[in-house]
């Protein structure tokens, strides 16, 4: 992503400044959804992660599917977008598989997952069809908030307000963590993934808007935090 429009060069606190109506719509919608999440979950970070990760796995799958169909329809290559978006969706799914081992959802949260995922899937599908640029910008802002939320989670762990439990085996295997890894290590790994998704989706939105890009293609930027070795198929 080009540094144009970015308010902070720090990889973790980087924020893309809205530059037009499309950006502002995506930004305001993100802030509204953030308000709802804060109101409903407060500091129940594990349960918050479960609900939000079930939604976070939707954009990459929807975008990858629509880009796939576009490539078939136009008889032209996709230049790596499909792979990046599907890898993002799988990465978010693995976040979910990790957090359900840490905070087990109750029956109400399972119902909420069904409703939230259904509503978001069809809403995002419609948005992507109407304006893929706005859709990618929205995901970029979602991921900015995810980085912020996981930073808060990490701070709560560090001050003892959240238990630093042993990392689930699925997380140890997926991120190649030490055998004695703790929740803190997991949150750091997940936060790094979200920062990668943030940069990739903002870069995709810029590319669709015809804005100047850095010399590094956005799909390459996601390599270390999104792409996983083929052996990840053994995960759930």
User: Model-level pTM?
Assistant: 0.82
Average pLDDT over the chain reads 83
pLDDT tens for each residue of 85-105: 999 999 999 999 999 888 887
Burial zone of 136 (CB within 10 Å; 0-12 exposed, 13-18 middle, 19+ buried): buried
pLDDT tens for each residue of 146-188: 898 899 889 999 998 889 999 999 999 999 999 999 999 999 9
Q: CA torsion 31→35→36→41, rounded to 10°?
A: 130
**Among 25-29, 46-50, 70-74, 114-118, which is the least confidently predicted range?**
46-50
CB 140 within 8 A of CB 16: yes
Half-sphere exposure of 42 (CA within 13 A, CB side): 0
What is the CATH class of 32-225?
Answer: mainly alpha
Can you tell me the distance from the alpha carbon of 106 to that of 82, in angstroms, rounded to the nearest whole number? Answer: 34
CB 224 within 8 A of CB 202: no
Domains of the chain by residue range = 32-225
CB 58 within 8 A of CB 121: yes
CB 225 within 8 A of CB 90: no
Q: In which band, very low, low, confident or very high, does the pLDDT at 122 lie, cut at 50, 70 and 90?
A: very high
């Amino acid at each position: 992503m080009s540094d144009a429009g970015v308010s902070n060069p720090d990889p973790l606190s980087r924020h893309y400044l809205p530059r037009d109506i499309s950006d502002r719509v995506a930004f305001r919608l993100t802030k509204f959804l953030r308000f709802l999440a804060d109101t409903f979950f407060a500091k129940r970070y594990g349960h918050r992660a479960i609900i939000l990760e079930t939604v976070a796995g939707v954009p990459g799958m929807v975008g990858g599917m629509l880009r796939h169909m576009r490539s078939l329809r136009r008889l032209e290559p996709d230049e790596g977008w499909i792979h990046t978006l599907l890898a993002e969706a799988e990465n978010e799914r693995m976040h979910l598989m990790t957090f359900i081992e840490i905070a087990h959802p109750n029956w109400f949260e399972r119902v909420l997952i069904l409703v939230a995922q259904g509503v978001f899937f069809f809403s995002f599908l419609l948005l992507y069809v109407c304006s893929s640029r706005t859709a990618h910008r929205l995901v970029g802002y979602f991921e900015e908030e995810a980085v912020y939320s996981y930073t808060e989670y990490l701070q709560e762990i560090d001050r003892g307000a959240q238990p630093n439990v042993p990392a689930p085996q699925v997380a140890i295997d997926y991120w190649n963590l030490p055998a004695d890894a703790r929740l803190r290590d997991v949150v750091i790994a997940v936060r790094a993934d979200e920062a990668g998704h943030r940069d990739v989706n903002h870069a995709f939105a810029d590319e669709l808007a015809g804005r100047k890009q850095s010399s590094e293609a956005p799909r390459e930027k996601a390599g270390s935090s999104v792409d996983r070795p083929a052996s990840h198929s053994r995960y759930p």
